[in-house]
């Protein structure tokens, strides 16, 4: 562990707390499998499936279908008379099959979390606060050496100093520093750049140009520039929201952030529709992450009890210890203004859908009380609560994600030639979106995971390695040039100054 007096007594206390928890609490053991392991067969047939295609304006359903899966791909779809030859046949008995879910906004801190996502039917995740270990995991998963959802990752979050600055951001203040930071990320192997709210105009424009030159996708918060006095209520942002709409973002993150920047925190219906039409005309997808703000409200309404609900043990305990003060702050917050903001964000989500904005689902899982895997089910439920149909919500987590990633020929689909990333449900998610919380099977890269195996993966995800998490984080900070001894003072300063109107969770969003 890197040394340094600047780490502070709070961090020592957090480590002692984690050590005490690890030594005093027995660690759960994954249950033993009592069925044949079919995860390594190279070909199999899913028999008598109810296929749901999500690529059109309405669901296309095919009953009693047979899917031939070979070497990670759907190679044929037929019926009972089809003469398919495979190593195994998995009888589904009319269960529903959809494309695997994509969570387009997560924060992974350790390899243990991967199984949690897969156990909830999430077959693709986009990690948006990258460190060197993510590149290793990404390659291991792609080679089939590690079980987990397909992992896409940005590099470290690129930001400038300001009210949304956080301790693990890569901070740049001018064009030269921005170009150098993006070049470092590209040379390290990152193919996505995540930009953030406080980027100065010069730094943002230079970072964007360097990313384009390096062939990197760009995503993130809409950069605002330097936030001067009176911004945004009486003075406009230095970088107007509409100025970034033609910059080729893969996605823009957070309905909450777009309401803050694009509407300057105002809640008028006409302005919201005008903004939605601008985004739709520009063709920029939006990652909703409704659950991220909603969980702030849940904490305030429950006096913090929301952090104790089922599934919270899937969150990394090292990160949870770091975020304890942040959670306490929201547990003591007045829920009334949060409730009002949450209702408007739900309304804005519906307006975006009505005006043709491509919505993709993301959960901000891995931070605050947003549990890996489980939180995507929360997100889809909130989309339906906002007025989207279950079909539209499912589409946001499948077909729309594939469109945003430029992969609609091979992903987010259940057709011959599509990647064999699928979810099986005994219930019908088109009738009740809560169905997505209970997959009965998953196919990931052509490998079959039964419900028992999925529950084993979820149990294993609870076996956290806090020392490895700390090493991951410190290695990442050192690689991007952030002085570890000064990290924690900066972290607390960021928490004290971040604007309530723009929301904000600890570490990274």
* Per-residue pLDDT at 42: 87
DSSP at 419: B
Tokens 């993709």 found at = 360
Statement: residue 105 has pLDDT above 50: yes
What's the CA gap between 146 and 261, in Å, rounded?
40
- The stretch 218-231 carries a mean pLDDT of 96
Q: Which residue has the higher pLDDT, 486 or 448?
A: 448
Are 44 and 69 in contact by the 8 Å Cβ rule? The answer is: yes
pLDDT in tens, 454-500: 999 999 999 999 999 989 998 998 898 877 655 544 444 444 333 33
Quote the distance between the C-alpha of residue 214 and its chain's center: 24
For the chain, the average pLDDT equals 89
Percent of the chain at pLDDT > 90 equals 82
* Per-residue pLDDT at 36: 58
Q: Give the pLDDT band (50/70/90) at residue 39.
A: low
Statement: residue 158 has pLDDT above 90: yes
What's the CA gap between 46 and 291, in Å, rounded?
33
End-to-end alpha-carbon separation of the chain, Å? 25
Tokens 């003591």 found at = 332
**Other Cβ atoms closer than 10 A to 212:** 15
Among 285, 234, 241, smallest CA distance to 263 is for 241
What's the CA gap between 369 and 286, in Å, rounded?
22
Quote the distance between the C-alpha of residue 508 and its chain's center: 12
Domain ranges for the chain, please list them: 5-16+97-408+417-502
* Per-residue pLDDT at 159: 98
What's the CA gap between 392 and 84, in Å, rounded?
33
Statement: residue 254 has pLDDT above 80: yes
**Other Cβ atoms closer than 10 A to 253:** 27
How many helices and strands (H and E) does the chain possess? 17, 18
DSSP string, 36-96: ---TT-SEEEEEEEEEEE-SSSS-EEEEEEEEEEETTEEEEEE-TT-----SEEEE-TT-E
pLDDT in tens, 338-391: 999 999 999 999 999 999 999 999 999 999 999 999 999 999 999 999 999 999
Quote the distance between the C-alpha of residue 265 and its chain's center: 24
Among 319, 295, 502, 285, smallest CA distance to 397 is for 285
* Per-residue pLDDT at 482: 79
* Per-residue pLDDT at 483: 73
* Per-residue pLDDT at 481: 85
Among 382, 392, 375, smallest CA distance to 429 is for 392
Domain 5-16+97-408+417-502: top CATH class: alpha beta
Statement: residue 30 has pLDDT above 70: no
Q: Which residue has the higher pLDDT, 33 or 314?
A: 314
Helix, strand and coil content of the chain, in percent to the nearest 5, comes to 45, 15, 40
Query: With the CA atoms of 278, 152, 467 and 20 taken in that order, what torsion angle do they form, in degrees rounded to the nearest 10?
Result: 60
Is residue 271 classed as helix, strand or coil in its secondary structure?
helix
pTM, full prediction: 0.90
pLDDT in tens, 412-438: 999 999 999 999 999 999 999 999 999
Phi-psi map region of 207: left, alpha, beta (phi>0 left; psi -120 to 50 alpha): alpha
* Per-residue pLDDT at 23: 36
Residue 217 phi, psi (nearest 5): -70, 150
């Amino acid at each position: 562990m890197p040394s340094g007096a600047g780490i502070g007594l709070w961090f020592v206390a957090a480590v002692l707390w984690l050590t005490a928890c690890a030594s005093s609490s027995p660690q759960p053991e994954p249950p033993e499998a009592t069925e044949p392991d079919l995860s390594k067969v190279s070909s199999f047939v899913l028999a008598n499936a109810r296929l749901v295609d999500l690529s059109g304006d309405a669901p296309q359903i095919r009953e009693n279908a047979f899917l031939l899966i070979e070497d990670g791909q759907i190679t044929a779809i037929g019926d009972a008379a089809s003469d398919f030859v495979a190593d195994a046949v998995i009888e589904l008995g009319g269960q529903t099959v959809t494309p695997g879910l994509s969570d387009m906004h997560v924060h992974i801190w350790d390899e243990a979390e991967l199984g949690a996502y897969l156990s909830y039917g999430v077959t693709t995740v986009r990690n948006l606060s990258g460190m060197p270990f993510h590149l290793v995991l990404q390659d291991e998963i792609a080679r089939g050496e590690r079980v987990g959802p397909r992992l896409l990752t940005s590099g470290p979050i690129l930001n400038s100093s300001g009210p949304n600055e956080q301790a693990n951001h890569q901070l740049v203040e001018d064009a030269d520093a921005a170009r150098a930071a993006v070049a470092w990320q590209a040379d390290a192997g990152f193919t996505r750049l995540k930009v953030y709210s406080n980027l100065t105009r010069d730094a943002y424009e230079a970072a964007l140009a360097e990313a384009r030159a390096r062939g990197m996708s760009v995503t993130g918060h809409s950069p605002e520039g330097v936030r001067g006095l009176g911004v945004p209520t009486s003075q406009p942002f230095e970088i107007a929201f509409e100025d970034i709409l033609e910059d080729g973002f893969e996605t823009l993150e957070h309905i909450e952030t777009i309401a803050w920047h694009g509407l300057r925190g105002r809640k008028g219906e006409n302005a919201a529709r005008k903004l939605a039409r601008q985004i739709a005309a520009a063709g920029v997808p939006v990652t909703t992450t409704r659950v991220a703000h909603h969980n702030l409200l849940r904490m305030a309404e429950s006096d913090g009890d929301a952090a104790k609900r089922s599934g919270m043990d899937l969150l990394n305990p090292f990160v949870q210890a770091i975020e304890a003060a942040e959670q306490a702050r929201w547990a003591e917050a007045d829920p009334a203004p949060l409730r009002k903001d949450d209702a408007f964000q739900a309304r804005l989500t519906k307006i975006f859908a009505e005006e043709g904005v491509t919505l993709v689902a993301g959960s901000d899982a891995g931070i605050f009380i947003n549990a890996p895997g489980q939180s995507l089910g929360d997100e889809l439920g909130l989309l339906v609560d906002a007025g989207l149909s279950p079909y539209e919500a499912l589409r946001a987590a499948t077909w729309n994600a594939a469109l945003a990633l430029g992969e609609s020929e091979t992903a987010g689909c259940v057709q011959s030639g599509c990647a064999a990333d699928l979810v099986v449900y005994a219930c019908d998610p088109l009738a009740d979106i809560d169905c997505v919380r209970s997959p009965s099977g998953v196919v990931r890269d052509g490998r079959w995971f039964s419900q028992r195996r999925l529950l084993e993966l979820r149990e294993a995800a609870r076996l956290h390695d806090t020392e490895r998490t700390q090493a991951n984080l410190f290695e990442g900070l050192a690689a991007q040039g952030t002085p570890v001894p000064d990290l924690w003072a900066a972290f607390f300063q960021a928490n004290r100054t971040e604007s309530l109107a723009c929301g904000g969770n600890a570490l990274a969003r």
